[in-house]
Structure 1
């Protein structure tokens, strides 16, 4: 089942077109990476999903219900973590969640139970200091707890790791992976390594249009290149292999850097056969798989 469906969405600000014929389907219990450069339209899309902006054209449905601008009932299915969450800084984490529970209509007992559960999830169970003393990472973790308080079907995260150090980023990513079974996550970011670590599917937004949308595994197969990297311990071994008469015909491109060769060929098995024939034992032999960064750079050119 699709938790979020966006169909033929367009958004203009005056004469400037921000989004053009946007189509996205986010399956249930997935982490969906929503990628794009700054200014590509990611934040505008999220505001449209939340009913904070009015679309010029197209439809958005959350959990099967249509989003309505200004007063959308679909937000009862949604949790939202902005890139810079705001809090009442004089409160403790527990006090803040209890306030949020009351504002969203949860019973006192339900609020207590959910607060305890979520503070444990985000590693703030024993934190008694006021929020104003929290680090950026702690505030992001509290923001996730607040966004999950109403047990949303869809959790929207807008650049949740962009200003964090590596440890803080890992903490946030681990939390998102942990809640995947309870909710579906729309993960907007420009940090491609984070997407590769936790996302099941990816959509790349460029100049207001989706230029690519698929699972990560499918993308890596689709953009797979016939690139090989072979390293040797001895210069003589490298030179002997590099100048082998079959290498010239076999490889479309070849280069060497120190004791490392880079070769492009559709027949990796033949490279192994040449090594065996010449009785050469390389230090390493690897087919280079594409990463999300190389795919991203290719599709936005």
Structure 2
């Protein structure tokens, strides 16, 4: 079952079209990478899903229920983590989550149990400091706990790792991977390495349009190799290979790229190197890079 479905969604601001016929579906219990450059329309899409903006046309459903602008009951199914979450900085993490639980009318025992569970999940169970002393990464972790408090069926994350250092990014990605067991995650980002690490499916948004949607498994299978990188010992030997194989490209003085090569061509290049006793340091298969795939798709 799909937890989130967008069908032919269009959004204009004045005479500027921001989203054009956006259509995609997010299956349950997946991490869905919603990828695009800054300004591609990702945040606009999420605001429409949350009923904060009105689409000019199209339909959105969450858990099979239609989203309505302004007052949508589907938000009870959604947890939301903005790119820069805000808190009452004088509170501790435990106090803040208790406050969130009280706002929703949960019982004291439920609030206490859920607070303990979530602080453990995000690695803040022993943190006694006030939130004002938190790093950006700690605030993001607390933001995830807040967004998950009511056990949402869909968690929307807007660029959750964009301003974090490598350690902070890894921590957030690990938390989201663990959360997938209990919810579905729409993961908006422009950091493609993060998508490769945790996402099950991905959609590329470019200039307001979905230019590719596919499972990561299928992408890796269909684009398993984009070619081979050849590093020669001596730069002067590059001319021999370039003359024998015009399809090979030179990347620098002793690095060559054999792109989109089939087995016959690959074997021919290797045979040539061995028969002509050309010393080489590396003949390495280049695996799928989402960055190269994204650039290829959006340049069409």
With normalisation by structure 1, the TM-score equals 0.91
Gap change, CA 1:256 and 1:28, over 3 Å in 2? closer
- Counterpart CA distance in 2 for 1:186 and 1:162 is 15
Unpaired segments ≥5 residues, structure 1: none
Equivalences for residues 10-89 of structure 1 within 5 A:
10-89=10-89
Name the CA distance, whole Å, in 2 between partners of 1:167 and 1:151: 27
Matched pairs, number: 296
The 8 Å contact of residues 226 and 288 in structure 2, kept in 1 or not, is answered as: no
Match in the other structure for 1:283: 281
User: Residues 95-244 of structure 1: matches in 2 within 5 Å?
Assistant: 95-223=95-223, 227-232=227-232, 234-235=233-234, 239=237, 243=240
The residue that corresponds to 1:255 in the other structure is: 250
Is the partner of 2:32 in helix, strand or coil?
strand
Between stretches 73-82 and 284-293, larger displacement belongs to 284-293
Offset, 1:121: 0.8
Q: What secondary structure, in the 3-state scheme, does the structure 2 residue paired with 1:228 have?
A: strand
Q: 1:168 Cα shift?
A: 0.9
Of stretches 264-273 and 148-157 in structure 1, the one that deviates more from structure 2 is 264-273
RMSD (CA atoms): 2.1
C-alpha separation in 2, matches of 1:261 and 1:208: 36
| 1:112 Cα deviation from its structure 2 partner | 0.7
TM-score, structure 2 normalization: 0.91
Summarize deviations over 1:134-164 as a string: whole Å, max 9, x none. Answer: 1111000000000001111110000101111
1:223, CA displacement in angstroms? 4.8
Q: What is the distance in 2 between the residues matched to 1:291 and 1:189?
A: 16
SS in 2 for 1:271: helix
Name the CA distance, whole Å, in 2 between partners of 1:106 and 1:149: 10
For structure 2, the 5+ residue unaligned runs are none
Is contact 1:251–1:263 with CA below 8 Å preserved after alignment? no
Q: Aligned to 2:287, what secondary structure does the other structure show? A: coil
Q: Retained in 2: the 8 A contact 1:6–1:25? A: yes
Q: Distance in 2 between matches of 1:183 and 1:87?
A: 23
